[in-house]
């Protein structure tokens, strides 16, 4: 290969790389997408029930486009809103989260927190996500108690290592959740136990979809497991998918709806609506929210 040809190849590669980075950082990370799934977990002849699953907003001040898009989801009129954490990415983000979620607070809802509800993100080498035992680094403390008070004040159930029942869509729904396993705050043993036979539906929440926690939830009879955290891989390879999940979950389950192995439960992992603020890119994995229409088995 001559010098001129090599120069052209290098220049072409640089142009393609720059264009890809511009697309991932300026376009795709703002391509908010609504996913729709049907989940067969209800008894025979039951009427469908619709759940809006939100996760990983990673809200920063001034992200008006994201706030307005999430707020518009209230027009879907879901029966139940479930949020699986990482709502904030800045100490001043609570007003932005509230702007996004305020129209949804009138609906029955529940939530768990993720690591980036407690502490802000810090810069890290993105290649460390491929290390299974990388050390977790905490940033600035975030106003999680303020956010918790807003959610619970609106009537949403706090499921951080907690269990409850509520009415949604005319059904009695049994809910359980854990605080974030990714930062070792989960304590499922304190809320474990078989699902009540009086419940019409049972749902379990965890920010990080750690298999050890999901196995216990499924063993207790929870029929739908919800999580976030993975960002769907955030930067994916077309035709291959996620390269990393940042947890113990297999890459093939990094986002979407899956049957949980060895059980009758279904797992839905949201690819989330935001990004780490020091890596504001998405590729082959646009930000998303999901409507899960629960139907008879």
Pairing of strands 157-158, 109-111: parallel
Structure tokens at 247: 């947890």
Confidence of residue 127 (pLDDT cuts 50, 70, 90): low
Q: State percent of the chain over pLDDT 70.
A: 86
Q: What is the mean pLDDT of residues 243-248?
A: 94
Q: What is the mean pLDDT of residues 226-231?
A: 98
User: Which residue from 187, 188, 179, 176 is spatially nearest to 160, judged by alpha carbons?
Assistant: 179
Give the pLDDT score at 266.
Answer: 98
Q: Within 10 Å of residue 72's Cβ, how many Cβ atoms?
A: 13
Lowest mean pLDDT among 17-21, 117-121, 285-289: 17-21
Give the pLDDT score at 126.
Answer: 61
**pLDDT, tens digit, 9 for 90 and up, residues 151-161:** 999 999 999 99
Q: Please give the CATH number for the structural domain made up of 31-296.
A: 3.60.21.10
Higher pLDDT among residues 12 and 153, named by residue = 153
Q: Would you say residue 232 has pLDDT above 80?
A: yes
Instruction: Please check whether residue 248 is in contact with residue 241, taking contact to mean a CB–CB distance below 8 angstroms.
Output: no
Listing DSSP states for 136-205 in one string gives P---SBP-HHHHHHHHHHTT-EE-TTEEEEEEETTEEEEEEE-S-GGGT---GGGT--PPPTT-SEEEEE
Q: Would you say residue 198 has pLDDT above 80?
A: yes
Q: What is the mean pLDDT of residues 135-140?
A: 75
* pTM check: above 0.95: no
* Domain assignments of the chain as residue spans, ordered by start: 31-296
Confidence of residue 24 (pLDDT cuts 50, 70, 90): low
Confidence of residue 121 (pLDDT cuts 50, 70, 90): confident
- Average pLDDT of the chain is 90
Confidence of residue 129 (pLDDT cuts 50, 70, 90): low
User: Which residue from 212, 201, 204 is spatially nearest to 293, judged by alpha carbons?
Assistant: 201
Q: What is the mean pLDDT of residues 132-152?
A: 86
């Amino acid at each position: 290969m001559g010098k001129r040809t090599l120069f052209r190849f290098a220049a072409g590669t640089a142009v393609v790389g720059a264009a890809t980075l511009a697309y991932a950082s300026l376009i795709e990370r703002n391509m908010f997408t609504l996913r729709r799934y049907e989940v067969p977990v209800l008894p025979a002849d039951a009427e469908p029930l619709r759940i809006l699953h939100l996760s990983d907003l990673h809200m920063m001040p001034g992200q008006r486009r994201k706030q307005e898009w999430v707020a518009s989801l209230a027009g879907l009129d879901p029966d139940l809103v479930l949020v699986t954490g990482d709502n904030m990415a800045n100490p001043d983000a609570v007003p932005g989260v509230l702007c996004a979620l305020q129209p949804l607070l009138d609906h029955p809802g529940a939530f768990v927190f993720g690591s980036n509800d407690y502490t802000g993100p810090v810069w890290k080498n993105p290649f460390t996500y491929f290390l299974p035992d990388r050390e977790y680094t905490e940033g600035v403390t975030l106003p999680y108690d303020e956010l918790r008070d807003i959610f619970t004040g609106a009537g949403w159930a706090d499921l951080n290592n907690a269990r409850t029942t509520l009415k949604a869509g005319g059904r009695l729904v049994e809910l359980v959740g854990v605080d974030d396993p990714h930062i070792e705050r989960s304590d499922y043993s304190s809320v474990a136990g078989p699902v009540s036979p009086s419940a019409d539906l049972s749902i379990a929440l965890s920010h990080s979809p750690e298999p050890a926690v999901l196995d216990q939830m499924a063993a207790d009879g929870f029929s739908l497991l919800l999580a976030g955290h993975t960002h769907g891989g955030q930067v994916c390879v077309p035709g291959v998918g996620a390269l990393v999940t940042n947890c113990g979950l297999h890459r093939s389950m990094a986002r979407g709806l899956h049957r949980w192995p060895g059980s009758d439960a279904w797992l839905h992992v949201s690819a989330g609506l935001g990004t780490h603020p020091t890596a504001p890119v998405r590729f082959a994995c646009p930000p998303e929210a999901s409507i899960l229409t629960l139907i008879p088995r």
